[in-house]
Amino acid sequence: MNTLEEYTELLARIDRINSAVSLLQWDQRTKIPRDGHAGRAETLGTLSRMAFELATSDRLGALLDELRGRDGLSPVEQASLRVVGRDYARHKAIPPDLFERFTVARVRSESAWELAKEASDFPSFSPHLSEMIDFARQFAELFGYEDAPYDALLEEYEPGMTARTLRSIIEPLREALVPLLRHLIDDGTPPETSFLEGCFDVSAQRQLAARALQAIGYDFRAGRLDDTTHPFTIGIGPGDTRVTNRYHEDLVLSGLFSALHEGGHALYDQGIPDELRPLGIADGSSYGVHESQSRLWENMVGRSLPFWRHFRAAMVDVFPALDGCSAEEFYAATNTAQPSLIRVEADEVTYNLHIMLRFELEQALLSGDLAVDDAPDAWREGIRDTLGVEPTCDADGVLQDVHWSAGMFAYFPSYMLGNLYAAQLYATARRENQDLESSIEQGDPRVLLGWLRERIHRHGQIFDPVELIERVTGEAPSPVHFIDYLTEKYSAVYGL
C-alpha cells in the first residue's frame, strides 16, 4: 500500500466511525426513549474518542508530512491535505481524555436542555451551560489565537473569519436593517395574514413539509423526514442524508419553512460527489456556505412569488380551507416584517438582528463578562433593546436555541454570513439563468439546483468560503446584495 492509499484508507476508517456516531446522534434527537440518554452519552463518548484518536494519530500526521512533499498531486488531493491538515493541527492540541469528557458532557447537556426548554426552567440547565462554556474556553486556549479566544472557536465553523471582521460586517448591516424595519412599520402597509391564523393539523403539516422537500428536489431515496425538538439535517453516510422538523398547530408556515431550510442543507450534502469522501473533504466549504444553501431555498425561493404560484396548489390540497387565497396573497403573507421573539420564526429583515444579539452574548459568556446565571436577564434586556420585544419565559428567550447546549459557541455568525452569501449567490444565479424564476413557477427546481450543483455542491471543501464565493460570483463576499434584495422585495410588498 502506497502513502496516498494508506492516507485515504485511514480517512475512510475515521469516516465509518463518524457515520455510526451520526446515526446515534440522529436517534438521540428523534427516536430514543427518554431513559436511554445516559447510556447513549457513554456510547457516543467511546465512539467519538475512537474517531478522534485516529484523526489525531501520529500516523496521520506522518502521512500528511510525506504527502505534502510529493509532486504530482491533483488539486483535489492538495485540497484534502489543506483541510485535513488544518483539522489535524487544531484537534491534535486536544487531549483525547478531554475530548471524550466533552462528548459525554455534550450529550447530557443537550438532553438537559430539551427538558429545561420544555419546562422553561433555566436553573436546571445552568450547570450544563457552565460546563460547556468551560470546555469552550479550554479548547480556545489549546487551539491558540492572535486576537481573541472567540476567533479560535470561530475558525472551526468559518475558516479565516475573526470577531473583528464580523463586527465590520455587523455595523453597516445593522445601520441598514434597523431603518428599513422602522420604515416598513411606520410608513408601509403590512400584508394581510389573518387567513393563516387557526389550528392546522400536525399530520397534515408533515405531508406539506414532505411535498415542499419534493418540490425543491430532495431525494427521499437517499434520506427521510422525522420529528425533533430543534430541526436539523445530518449526513449519516453515502446515500443517507436525513432531515428533521418540528411543527406548531397555530403556525402553519413554521413547519413549511423549516422543512425548506433543512432541505437546503440536505440538497448540499446530496450534491457532494462520493469521490471526495475518501479524501476527507465531502462536506460544505464552511458552515456559512452551508447556511447559504438553507437560507437560499427557504427565503429566496420559498418566500418568492414564483414559488407560490406553483406551491399554492399543494398548500390548498393539504389545507382545503385556504382555497380562497391566491398565490399573491400567500407570497405577501410570507414576507411580513415585525419584531419577534423566536429566531427560527423571524422574518428576513429582523433575523440577522437576532444573530447579532447572540454574537454579543456568547462573547460575554466566554470572556466571563457575563455570568451564566445572569444570562436570562441579559437576553431579555438585549432582545428588548434590539427589537423592542421581551420574552415572558426562558423557553422563548435564552433557552430557545440548542447550540450552546452542544458547546457550539461561535456557530451563530454562520447564519448571518449564510444570509449574505445566499443573496450574493442568488443574484448571480438569476443573472446567469434568465429562465430561473419561470422554472420555479413551473415547479421545476432543476435549473437552480443544477446551477448550485455545478457551482457550489460538487466542490465540497476543495475551496475555502471566501475563495468559493469569489469564484462563483466574481466578487468578494459583501452585504450589499442582501441589503438590496431586502429593500427591493419588502418595499414592494409594503407598497413603498
Query: What are the catalytic residues?
Result: 262
Strands 233-237 and 240-245: antiparallel
Q: Name residues whose C-beta falls within 8 Å of residue 488's C-beta, 6 or more positions apart in sequence.
A: none
Q: Which amino acid is at 234?
A: I
Amino acid in position 162: T
DSSP 8-state class, residue 445: T
Contact 366, 129 (CB under 8 A): no
Q: Tell me which residue of 383, 203, 415, 188 sits closest to 295, measured CA to CA.
A: 415
Query: For residues 236 and 201, what is the distance between their CA atoms, to the nearest angstrom?
Result: 30
- Assign 3-state DSSP to the chain and report helix, strand, coil percentages, each to 5: 70, 5, 25
Q: How far is CA 5 from the centre of its chain?
A: 33
Contacts of 96 (CB under 8 A, 6+ apart): 49, 52, 53, 56
Instruction: Please report, to the nearest 10 degrees, the dihedral formed by the alpha carbons of residues 410, 416, 417, 423 taken in order.
Output: 170
Query: What is d(CA 174, CA 171) in angstroms, rounded to the nearest whole number?
Result: 5
C-alpha cell at 251: 403556525
Question: What letter would DSSP give residue 148?
Answer: -
The x, y and z cell numbers of residue 220, run together, are 427521499
